[in-house]
Every structure is written in C-alpha cells, then in structure tokens.
Amino acid sequence: MIRVSDGKIGPREFFAILYGMMAIRVTDATPSLMLEDGLTAAWMLPLISAIVLFGSLMFLLAILKKYNMGLIDIVFELAGNGFGRLIILFMFVTVFSSMSLNGRSYSDIVITMYYPKSPLLLIMVALILGAALFIAHRGLEAIGRTALLVVPIFMLTSVLLIIGVANQLDPLFIFPIAGPGELEVIKGGLEFSAFFADIIIVGVLADRLRTFNAYRTASIWGLWVPAAKMALFLAVYVMMFDYPAVRNIAYPYHHLTRMAMVGSLANHMEALFLALWFVGAAIHFATYLYISALLLGKLINYQPFPQLLFPLAGLSVLIGMLPENPLMGDQLRKLLLQSSSGLFLLLPVFLWGIDRFRKGGKE
C-alpha cells in the first residue's frame, strides 16, 4: 500500500525519532556525569528520571488529547501571548544550546577516540552543517524515515556489543547496591531527568502525527526503551571497568566498542560501531535542529521555518566552538540540564493546572 505523503508521521517513525534523540546518549558524556553522581547505583538514575518524567508525560498527554494541537499552540492558548512567548523562548534556548553543546561534545568524542589529527571545525561542520542539516532540511517525514531505517540496526548492534564484552563483565561489581546512598540516588535521578526531557519537548510535534493514539503509544515506548537502554549500559560500564575506575573514563561506550571481540580474530570492531554511531548522531542533531527551527519560527511568527535551519545550524557550530575544551562544555551542559529539568518537569503540570483553573468549569 502506497500512501500519499501528507507530511505526517506514524507511531513507528515517531518512536524511532525519540530513540534517536535519547538512546544515543549512552554513547556520549552523559554516562560519565551519571556515574560521577550515582557510582555503582548509576543504573537507577535513568529509571528514576523516567518514572518522574512519566508522571509529567501523563499530564502532557491529557492536555494534548483535550486540545488536539501541538504543544506550542497549547502554550499560546493557555498561557496567553506574552507569557506563552516567554515559555517558548525558554524552550528554544534550552533546545538550541543543548544542541550546540552536544554537537561540540560529539565532535570531541570523534577527535579524542578516532581521528586525533582532524580539526574540530571540520568535524562539527560535517556533522551539523553537513549531515544533520541535510536530513533536517528534507522535513520531519525524512527524519522519521531515516530514523526508522537505522534504529533497528542500532538496537541490534547494542545487543551485539554487550554480547561481545559479556565474558569480560563481572555482575558483582554493581554492588554496593545503593551506591552513594538512597537519597543521593533519588536526588541524582531528579537532577538528570532533563536527559529524557526530550519526551516533553517533542510535544511540539504532536500535531504532526496521524492520530493521538499513535502519539501516546510511541511516546510511552519512546520514554521507557531509551531509559532502559541507558540503565542497562550504565550497569554494563560498571561491570566492565569497576567502580571507582569507571569514574575516570571519559567515553565509556567507545572504550567498550574497543574491548568488544567477536571470536579471537575480529577484535578491532570499533570501526563498525563508529560508522553506525555517526549516522545515529546525524539523526539526533537533525531532530534537534528541526525542533529548534520550529520553535524559533513560532517565536518570531515566521511561517516558512525550514528556512531557519541553515542559519541555526551555522550558529550552533559557532556556539559549539566557544568552549575551550570538552570538559568546559560538559560543565555548561550539566548546568543547563539541571536548570532546565524543573522547567520540563513542571511545564505540563503547569499547563494542566491553568486548563483546570481557567476552563475546567466549562466542559
């Protein structure tokens, strides 16, 4: 059955986009931040974050169902033009700066682990101005389909990777079970919930899905699967490198791909993983770029927002070049995440509250 393209996406594409946005975080500097706080119990952090966000997501779904619009329109509708614009501005700043800093972080991974002699600018341009812009420019449908094409491969290679290192893992290394203590773990989970806050941000795409049910199914799966993957990989990192050594490792995923072996012959598997990872990164940034442009377009009332993609991509490369070294970028990123956690957690609740307060009596 060939369906005429209507610019909308189905649940599978949407799930693939969410997976591309969130699951790829296991490969960047995120696990290091989590391991620093969670120690041996780091694997609980993403699950706690996901539980917290799940609550928030339920509120979001309730509003989306009621209004049957994208999140941006709902914000304008409920919070009014002035205040709504402020919220959208804040969302844009968070999404856009997170993309810029992430772009820098990913380029640093490439330079540190694989291509030590390449200039940083080249990698950033190739990744964001090249690959991500290319995909994003083709529209949401293209992003969704590309994601759908590669996400099953990512899932398969993740499993392969774990099998490849399985005999080097020691399950007992995840003890002591509570890591730094239960309170710390719960606090950490709350702090890092912004890592999965994409699930709230993608509310802006809600009107681009064919049905509301599709959105609901895909977003629930899209929250839990990446969170579970993150938990699994954090546990694997600890089992592989052991606490406290795991805290010193900059990019555990890429060390893991180096250590993976298939038989005794193929022990330089990282090239395969690098290629796939780079494709994943391109989709990740394409989605972010697209959402940034969408938000900015609404913010300045500029309808043909795809024209904003190119300037935004260029700007994000420039911003990404600003931090002197990856550690500085990571510090900024952590700060950004912790400050925006609250916003994304409370936004749906806030909107729901206004809805109740203002219009609750009418319906």
Partner 1 sequence: MKKYGWPIGMLVLVLFLTGCSERQELEKQAFVAVIGLDKGEKEHQIEVTFQISNPQVNTTQSAEAQNEEPSNIVTITAVDLLSAKELVQTSLSREITFSHLRTIIVGEKLAKEDLFRHVIGSAIIDPEMRREAIMIVSKEPAQDFIHANKPTMETRPHKYYEFMEDNWKNTGFVPISNLNVFFQRTEGELFLAGYATAQKDPEYEKNDDTYLAGEVPQSGGDPVEMIGSAVMQKGRMVGTLNGEETRLSLLLRRKNLLKTMITTFPDPLNEDYRISVVVGQGPKTKVKVNTDRSPPEVDVVVPIVLKINSNIALEDYTVSKQRQEALKKMVKTKMEQASGELIEKIQEEYKGEPFVWYATARKNFRTTGDFERYDWGEQFKKADVHVSFEVTIESFGEQLRPPTLNKREKDE
Residue 180 as a binder of partner 1 (CB under 8 A): the answer is: yes
In the range 236-275, which residues lie near partner 1 by CB under 8 A? 240-245, 248, 255, 258-259, 264, 267-268
**22 or 135: CB nearest partner 1:** 135
- Look at the alpha carbons of 160, 109, 229, 212 in this order and tell me if their dihedral is positive or negative: negative
**58 or 178: CB nearest partner 1:** 178
Structure tokens at 250: 């900059």
In the range 185-244, which residues lie near partner 1 by CB under 8 A? 240-244
Task: Write the binding mask 100 to 129 for partner 1: x where contact by CB under 8 A, - elsewhere.
Answer: ------------xx-xxxxx--x---x---
Residue 141 as a binder of partner 1 (CB under 8 A): the answer is: no
Q: How far is the CB of 310 from partner 1 (least distance, A)?
A: 14
Q: Which DSSP category does 158 fall into?
A: H
Burial of 48 (0-12, 13-18, 19+ CB in 10 A): buried
**177 or 266: CB nearest partner 1:** 177
**317 and 124 in contact (C-beta within 8 Å)?**
yes
DSSP-assigned letters across all residues of 226-278: HHHHHHHHHHHHHHHH-TTGGGG-S-HHHHHHHH--BTTTB--THHHHHHHHH
DSSP-assigned letters across all residues of 72-129: HHHHHHHH-HHHHHHHHHHHHHHHHHHHHHHHHHHHHHIIIII-TTS-HHHHHIIIII
**54 or 173: CB nearest partner 1:** 173
Structure tokens at 335: 């700060």
SS in 3 state form for 13-67?
A: HHHHHHHHHHHHHHHCCHHHHHHHHHHHHCCHHHHHHHHHHHHHHHHHHHHHHHH
Backbone angles phi, psi at 266, to 5 degrees: -85, 85
Q: How far is the CB of 290 from partner 1 (least distance, A)?
A: 18
Residue 39 as a binder of partner 1 (CB under 8 A): the answer is: yes
Residue 36 as a binder of partner 1 (CB under 8 A): the answer is: no
Residue 168 as a binder of partner 1 (CB under 8 A): the answer is: yes
Residue 315 as a binder of partner 1 (CB under 8 A): the answer is: no
Choosing from 11, 20, 164, 179, the residue that interacts with partner 1 (CB under 8 A) is 179
Q: How far is the CB of 115 from partner 1 (least distance, A)?
A: 5
Q: How far is the CB of 172 from partner 1 (least distance, A)?
A: 4
Please name the residue that has the structure tokens 């399985």: 166
Choosing from 80, 152, 176, 311, the residue that interacts with partner 1 (CB under 8 A) is 176
Q: How far is the CB of 182 from partner 1 (least distance, A)?
A: 8
Choosing from 134, 212, 224, 350, the residue that interacts with partner 1 (CB under 8 A) is 134
Q: How far is the CB of 21 from partner 1 (least distance, A)?
A: 24
The helix or strand, by DSSP H or E, that contains position 198, with its residue range, turns out to be: helix 198-201
Measure the CA–CA gap between 23 and 33, rounded to whole angstroms.
16
Binding site residues, partner 1, CB under 8 A: 39-40, 112-113, 115-119, 122, 126, 130, 134, 168, 170, 172-173, 175-181, 240-245, 248, 255, 258-259, 264, 267-268
